């Protein structure tokens, strides 16, 4: 499969750019399609860039005709849960209408291999832990609902239009390229690891923990942190799986190991050797106390096994945030 061109929609963003790195390392040509509203031009390092919006059908047709990709990787979504509650319209316009426009363009171009960046937020509040792919999907916010709607559309496209897809439901993406070329860079930042690292670096006044009275081993929420390079590897494996004729499938991407917020903060303090103030405040509406993946299906279907542990995640993130001046 090496040597093929792959269109990476949203490829200038966090997970998209690390996937471009992995694609290039494995002999593919990644073409980034991005409107750069959240992505970074500096992160386009391993192939050409095409500026455009997924809601712009004419621009999509132009780029697909020019590069003739064998597959599409779709990362171009609005992702901030709190913003989805404040402005659901933007999330439906981009995440749903934009994706349907992209799918129409892909069909017209004869592309039937599509990898979709989804989320464990489609499951909603967990009924059992760890979560496997058969867990009911009842999302509790507009962000999760927009991803779930696309998942349902992809199932219909598979059944009625022969467009095969791999849906990848992420848990908590974290970490950075170990060589420090790219890393996590959101504006504003809302993810726990970069926020805590910024507190350790003195860039923030401290770190706030939402809830300390959950029914977990130390009262704080439990999350499954997965290294962004492990996510990238899963995406490239998904492309290869589809190009070899694999059937449509939905897969969880997580380590299967849960880490509490207190444990996470302790690990960041150990790596940085810099204590920082922590404030415990009330629970945040909509937070699940525990989100941990069962990743057996991804192993069985793609041969994917996460390579990096929490210490490596934090070390790579620390090296990236400590050296970057993009704050």
- What strand order describes the sheet that includes 29-34? 49-51, 29-34, 5-9, 71-74, 113-119, 164-170, 249-253
Is residue 186 in a domain?
no
Do residues 255 and 298 make contact, with C-beta atoms less than 8 angstroms apart?
no
Residue 189: the pLDDT is 81
Share of the chain above pLDDT 90, in %: 88
Mean pLDDT of 116-132: 94
- pLDDT of 2 higher than 70: no
Same-domain status, 161 and 44: yes
Out of 143, 170, 214, 225, which one is annotated catalytic?
143
Model pLDDT for residues 46-59, shown as the tens digit of each residue:
999 999 999 999 99
Mean pLDDT of 74-98: 93
Residue 323: the pLDDT is 87
Same-domain status, 22 and 66: yes
* Active-site residue flag, 143: yes
Same-domain status, 95 and 197: no
Count: domains in the chain: 2
Model pLDDT for residues 223-237, shown as the tens digit of each residue:
999 999 999 999 999
Model pLDDT for residues 258-290, shown as the tens digit of each residue:
999 999 999 999 999 999 999 999 998 777 889
Same-domain status, 264 and 233: no
Q: What CATH number has the domain bearing residue 164? A: 3.40.50.720
Is residue 44 in a domain?
yes
The Cα 153–Cα 151 span in angstroms is 5
Q: pTM of the predicted model, to two decimals?
A: 0.95
Q: Determine the structural domain holding residue 130 and report its residue range.
A: 5-174+226-254
Mean pLDDT of 138-167: 96
| pLDDT tier, 1 (very low <50, low <70, confident <90, very high otherwise) | low
**Phi, psi (deg, nearest 5) at residue 87:** -140, 70
Model pLDDT for residues 154-213, shown as the tens digit of each residue:
999 999 999 999 999 999 999 999 999 999 988 778 889 999 999 999 998 999 999 999
């Amino acid at each position: 499969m090496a040597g093929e061109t792959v269109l990476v929609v949203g490829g200038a963003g966090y997970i998209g750019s690390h996937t471009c790195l992995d694609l290039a390392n494995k002999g593919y040509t990644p073409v980034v399609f991005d409107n750069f509203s959240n992505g970074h031009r500096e992160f386009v390092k391993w192939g050409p860039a095409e500026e455009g919006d997924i809601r712009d059908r004419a621009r999509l047709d132009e780029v697909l005709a020019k590069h003739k990709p064998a597959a599409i990787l779709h990362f171009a979504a609005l992702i901030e849960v709190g913003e989805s509650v404040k402005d659901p319209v933007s999330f439906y316009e981009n995440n749903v209408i934009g994706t349907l426009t992209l799918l129409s363009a892909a069909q017209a171009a004869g592309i039937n291999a599509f990898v979709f960046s989804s989320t464990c937020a489609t499951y909603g509040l967990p009924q059992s832990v760890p979560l496997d792919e058969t867990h009911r999907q009842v999302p509790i916010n507009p962000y999760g609902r927009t991803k779930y709607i696309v998942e349902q559309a992809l199932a219909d496209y598979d059944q009625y239009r022969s467009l095969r897809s791999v849906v990848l439901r992420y848990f908590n993406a974290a970490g950075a390229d170990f060589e420090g070329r790219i890393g996590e860079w959101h504006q504003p930042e809302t993810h726990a690891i970069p926020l805590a690292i910024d507190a350790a670096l003195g860039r923030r006044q401290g770190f706030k923990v939402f809830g300390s009275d959950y029914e977990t081993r130390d009262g704080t929420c439990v999350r499954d942190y997965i290294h962004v390079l492990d996510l990238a590897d899963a995406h490239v494996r998904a492309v290869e799986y589809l190009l070899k004729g694999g059937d449509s499938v939905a897969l969880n991407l997580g380590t299967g190991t849960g880490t509490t917020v207190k444990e996470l903060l302790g690990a960041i303090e150990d790596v940085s050797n810099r204590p920082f103030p922590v404030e415990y405040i009330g629970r945040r509406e909509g937070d699940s106390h525990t989100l941990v993946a069962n990743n057996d299906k991804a192993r069985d279907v793609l041969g994917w096994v996460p390579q990096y542990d929490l210490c490596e995640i934090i070390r790579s993130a620390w090296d990236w945030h400590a050296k970057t001046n993009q704050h």
